[in-house]
Amino acid sequence: MKAIIRAAAWAAALCSSNLPVTAADLSGNPGAFAPISMGARGTGLAGAQTAAPDVVEAIIYNPAAMANTESWSGGYYYSNMYNLIPYHYTSATFRPKARPFVLGAAWLQNGDDVYSENEVLLGGAWSRGWVKLGGTYKLRFAGTGPGGSQFTDAATNLGHQVSGTALGLLGFDVGATIQPFGPKYTGGFVFKDLLSRIAWNTSNQAGTAGGSYAEYVPVSLRYGFLFQPDAFMALSVDYDPSLYHDTPTRLASGIEALPLELLPDSRVKPFIHDLLAVRTGYARNLYTKDASHRFSLGAGIAYAYSGMCLAVDMSYEWVYNFESNNNLRVGFNLSR
């Protein structure tokens, strides 16, 4: 049964854009390569990470935040989205010694034997004073596999299952974060998927596939704000305005706390004060009757030694309008 559901879901993604699409006709709902937040920390905060994402998640939330890398970082996260689609996310950042810029790269892979998508991200960030700027280049490719049902028409005995490949050589994210009033207050914004064009080549036995055509991944804009009154707690809010007639405006908020910061001062506290983090977040669509509510909880354990820090994170997301298929994300990151 799950194999049939997966096949139908991916066939719908392939067939949803059978005709060529121009920028003027662009819908806000992509046929493929839909943006999905992957990191366990960001998911625990309901995706409210535009102002200050963790460095290993920055390249997907806001590339400007890669500038927070002190020396280098690397991480891996896994999720089985809606109990249907396995997702893998690997990321790394590196700051050349005594340089004001940081380089980053990531690989996102999702799918199964029916259909799979890949994104290779190459990015950079630059900082000066209280301003950080960043950008990401995206290379995308996708393809179908031999799995799934053939969707054969009983009258013609011809298969309707679509097979094909996709290649996107263009696609950019640009973002910024600012702290004009000190480190307690951070503002950020990011434009995602500028000039993102995907070239498809599809076919099937019945001849009903779209053939060779192109589609554009919709541009999105997101604003973020972070308030960190002290080392114990940080509050974040993201606002994602609708840029298309068929997409909702979204609002997300998150709270992250370090409980061990409340311990009395001692010789032990400097070694354990940031050992444990707990997170919660809530997100929903605005100005629509069919609001999508998302609630998330997360936690992380981190240990620093000799200038290096290992963190293991986990989060769980409840999606209220998608039956009982919720999302568990787990992963780790190492930084210096």
State pLDDT tens for residues 311-324: 999 998 888 765 55
CA-to-CA distance for 63 and 320, rounded, in angstroms? Answer: 30
Question: Could you tell me if 88 and 78 are in contact, meaning their C-beta atoms sit under 8 angstroms apart?
Answer: yes
Give the pLDDT confidence score for residue 300 in this predicted structure.
95
Question: Could you tell me if 284 and 291 are in contact, meaning their C-beta atoms sit under 8 angstroms apart?
Answer: yes
Cα Rg for the chain, rounded, in angstroms? 21
Segment of 53-57, 110-114, 233-237, 292-296 carrying the highest mean pLDDT: 233-237
- Compute the average pLDDT of residues 182-202: 91
Q: Three-state SS string across 1-15, please?
A: CHHHHHHHHHHHHHH
251 against 7, higher pLDDT: 251
CA-to-CA distance for 25 and 143, rounded, in angstroms? Answer: 25
Q: Which of these, 65, 76, 70, lies nearest to 124 by C-alpha position?
A: 65
What distances in angstroms separate CA 283 from CA 177, 233, 256, 263, one per listed residue?
21, 19, 15, 31
CA-to-CA distance for 228 and 257, rounded, in angstroms? Answer: 10
Judged against a pLDDT cut of 60, whether residue 4 lies above it is answered with no
Confidence at 76, pLDDT banded by 50, 70, 90: very high
- Compute the average pLDDT of residues 109-124: 87
pTM over 0.85: no
Confidence at 7, pLDDT banded by 50, 70, 90: very low
CA-to-CA distance for 330 and 178, rounded, in angstroms? Answer: 30
- Compute the average pLDDT of residues 25-44: 68
CA-to-CA distance for 27 and 244, rounded, in angstroms? Answer: 7
Judged against a pLDDT cut of 90, whether residue 31 lies above it is answered with no
Give phi and psi for 51, each to the nearest 5: -80, -35
- For the beta carbon of residue 284, count every other beta carbon within 10 angstroms: 18
Give the pLDDT confidence score for residue 82 in this predicted structure.
67
The pLDDT tens digits of the residues spanning 287-309 come to 877 667 889 999 999 998 888 99
Confidence at 20, pLDDT banded by 50, 70, 90: very low
Confidence at 205, pLDDT banded by 50, 70, 90: low
Give the pLDDT confidence score for residue 275 in this predicted structure.
92
